[in-house]
Amino acid sequence: MRPILIIANWKLNGNWSFNEEYASLFSNGLKEIDLTGRQIVICPPSIYLQQLNGLILDQEIYFGGQDLSDEISGAFTGEVSGVMLKEFGCRYVLVGHSERRLRHQESNELVVKKALNAIAAGLTPVICVGETLEQRQSKQMEEVLSAQVDSILQGLGEQVEQIVLAYEPIWAIGTGQTATAEQAQEVHGWLREKIGATNRSVAENLQMIYGGSVKSDNAKQLLEMPDIDGLLVGGASLVVPEFLSICQTGEVI
Ligand code: 13P
């Protein structure tokens, strides 16, 4: 069985007072919902991890980083290592989010290096893959996703069983244009098949989550799909009632 994993990616949002109010509303809301069979993760900007960790005390809520350095320590100004994230209570870390691949030119090789560092630090890397609209329309989607996934499979070897894979079509991020549940399932199914060709049991156990304009009104259809094991939520995760509603969506089998 693959438990449902719901991850909030706050991106560059939040501030001291917003976080206080969010934590209070969220903690109160959690008392009303049953999270059995689900894992909920919040990825705030790393500077706020300590504050939020001290405010959201629910045992079932985990924290994650939004990125980590591909280096362990040294003269790398502005970077945060996996070990540091772990020390601040993280269990997960996003790796290779499209906003980093595009804005910071993160290559497939760099993404693998970061994922390996995350695993070495005791974190679960949530590795993001996805295609642009142009790539999808020009029928390059499989080629792009294959390159991303092949580099993960080759670079991580047996450690691939320690990751979460997030499919985030770039055209659906922050645009309000969600992939339909069927479109998302088609890619998730294809990804699982592809990974299964290398290692069937890894593919069967791999948690694969979808991200891109997830909201409370489309979360259920997405989670009903056989190969969608969770959701990576951006904008909607910043609105407490909306995020709580997403957290309790979906049947736990
Ligand atoms: P939105 O939910 O705002 O589209 O963002 C998706 C995302 O990039 C999560 O990592």
Q: Are 233 and 246 in contact (CB under 8 A)?
A: yes
> What residue ranges do the domains of the chain occupy?
4-247
Q: How many residues are given for the chain?
A: 253
**What count of Cα atoms within 13 Å lies in the side-chain half-sphere of residue 183?**
16
pTM (two decimals): 0.96
Q: How far apart are the C-alpha atoms of 192 and 102, rounded to whole Å? A: 25
14 sits in the region (left: phi over 0; alpha: psi -120 to 50; else beta) called left
The pLDDT tens digits along the chain (253 residues) read 789 999 999 999 999 999 999 999 999 999 999 888 899 999 999 999 999 999 999 888 999 999 999 999 999 999 999 999 999 999 999 999 999 999 999 999 999 999 999 999 999 999 999 999 999 999 999 999 999 999 999 999 999 999 999 999 999 988 878 789 999 999 999 999 999 998 999 999 999 999 999 999 999 999 999 999 999 999 999 999 999 999 998 655 4
Average pLDDT, the chain: 95
The two three-digit tokens of residue 57, written as one number: 């005390």
CB atoms within 10 A of CB 153: 16
What does residue 207 show for φ and ψ, rounded to 5 degrees?
-80, 125
What crossing angle do the helices spanning 240-247 and 16-30 adopt, rounded to 10°?
40
Take atom 1 of ligand 1 and give the residue whose Cα is closest. Answer: 234
Encode pLDDT of 69-128 as tens digits: 999 999 999 999 999 999 999 999 999 999 999 999 999 999 999 999 999 999 999 999
CATH class of 4-247: alpha beta
For residue 75, how far is its CA from the centre of ligand 1 (angstroms)?
31
For ligand 1, mutation pick of 7, 9, 102, 237 (most atoms within 8 Å of CB)? 9
Percentages helix, strand, coil for the chain (3-state, rounded to 5) are 50, 15, 35
Main-chain dihedrals φ then ψ at residue 12, nearest 5 degrees: -90, 65
Query: Is the Cβ atom of 168 under 6 angstroms away from ligand 1?
Result: yes
6, 13, 93, 168: residue to mutate for ligand 1 pocket, most atoms within 8 A of CB: 168
